[in-house]
Amino acid sequence: MLLRQGSIGPSVTALQRELNAVGYDISVDGDFGNETMRAVRSYQRKQGLVTDGIAGPKTRALLHGQQDARLLSQIDLVDAADRLGVELAAVMAVNEVESRGNGFHFGGPRNGMPIILFERHIMRRQLQHHGINPLPYQRAKPDIVNGSPGGYIGGHREHNRRERAGEIHTAASIESSSWGLFQIMGFHWKRLGYESAENYAADMAINEANQLDAFVRFVEKDRGIHAALRRHDWAGFASRYNGPNYAANDYDTKLAAAYRRHSQGMRLAA
């Protein structure tokens, strides 16, 4: 659950108590207002987390004493903005809206493994790319080799699908999956400067900073996306990053709102 300005209820009350327990002095009223947001931002800044004022699973876990060195930090976002030559608030907006919130599974049978989504129609294409006839596999295993998207089972079980595909061809299975926070497809590995598909997957499994680096490389290689990000053209960015149906999920309006919020937050903190 993401708690942010405007959230109300028992979860906010619990958050306020947790913040007070680590040294803050805010009202415990179940209303996530300016006072709570400032406390969250202050705590995130002190802990080296992304300073977005949103109390998600990472902030709450740290409040509960659960440390994890793999998490994205604010300095990672600062470095990414500097490297791309864009505003920090713009990178923070993309991180908020386009990332999956967590780059890794926490708990469960796939604890510590990067989040992925396996695409069976890409697997069909990549098998052909590697000189393998996909048709026998498509007939026998249509959930992992298919001409149409779909077959998703979500969460940690997507690793089951990828591993089954890997029994056919390891590299193709990696190339047919999107990885980590920003869900960059594995088939981009060569274009983004990785040594192999396997090297890309290994890099995504180290930490969220590496997953952000894959996103930065992706933007650097796409002039249209890079230019749209630089000039805050959120519709242009979303159409290139999310595809032509971006408006159905309001990606552009969410990005614009997140950018405004982060710009304001940084001005207030200055």
Residue 258 lies in a domain: no
Q: 12 near 60, Cβ under 8 Å?
A: no
Q: How many domains does the chain have?
A: 1
Worst-scoring range by mean pLDDT, 91-95, 105-109, 219-223? 105-109
Say if 172 falls within a structural domain.
no
Please tell me the least confidently modeled range out of 48-52, 104-108, 231-235.
104-108
| 37 assigned to some structural domain | yes
53: left (phi over 0), alpha (psi -120 to 50) or beta: left
pLDDT on residue 268: 63
54, part of any domain: yes
Residue 269 included in any domain: no
Is 196 inside any structural domain?
A: no
50 touches 62 (CB < 8 A): no
> Average pLDDT, stretch 129-133?
98
CA atoms within 13 A on the CB side of 10: 0
Where helices occur in the chain by DSSP H, the ranges are 10-21, 34-47, 57-63, 74-84, 88-98, 120-129, 135-140, 158-166, 170-175, 197-204, 208-220, 223-230, 234-241, 251-269
CB 265 within 8 A of CB 53: yes
Q: Is the pLDDT of residue 106 over 90?
A: no
Structural domain that includes position 34: 1-67
pLDDT digits (tens, 9 = 90+) for 58-71: 899 899 988 788 99
What is the distance between the alpha carbons of residues 203 and 210, in angstroms, rounded to a whole number? Answer: 6
197-218 pLDDT tens trace = 999 999 999 999 999 999 999 9
* 75 domain residue, yes or no: no
Cβ contacts of residue 90 below 8 Å, gap of 6+? Answer: 81, 229, 230, 232, 259
Residue where the block lists tokens 């930490």: 207
What was the pLDDT predicted at 269?
Answer: 61
Position 270 scores a pLDDT of 53
pLDDT value at residue 187: 98
| pLDDT 10s digits, 147-196 | 999 999 999 999 999 999 999 999 999 999 999 999 999 999 999 999 99
Query: What are 237-262's pLDDT values in tens digits?
Result: 999 999 999 999 999 999 999 999 88
In this prediction, residues 219-241 reach a mean pLDDT of: 97
Residue 228 has pLDDT above 80, yes or no: yes
- CA neighbours closer than 13 Å in the CB half-sphere of residue 230: 13
Query: What is the model's pLDDT at position 13?
Result: 97
Which tops the pLDDT comparison, 108 or 90?
90
Confidence of residue 264 (pLDDT cuts 50, 70, 90): confident
**Distances from the Cα of 11 to the Cαs of 7, 27, 76, in angstroms?**
9, 14, 29
What CATH code is carried by the domain that includes residue 14?
1.10.101.10
Range of lowest pLDDT (16-20, 98-102, 211-215):
98-102
Structural domain includes residue 45: yes
- Average pLDDT for the chain: 94
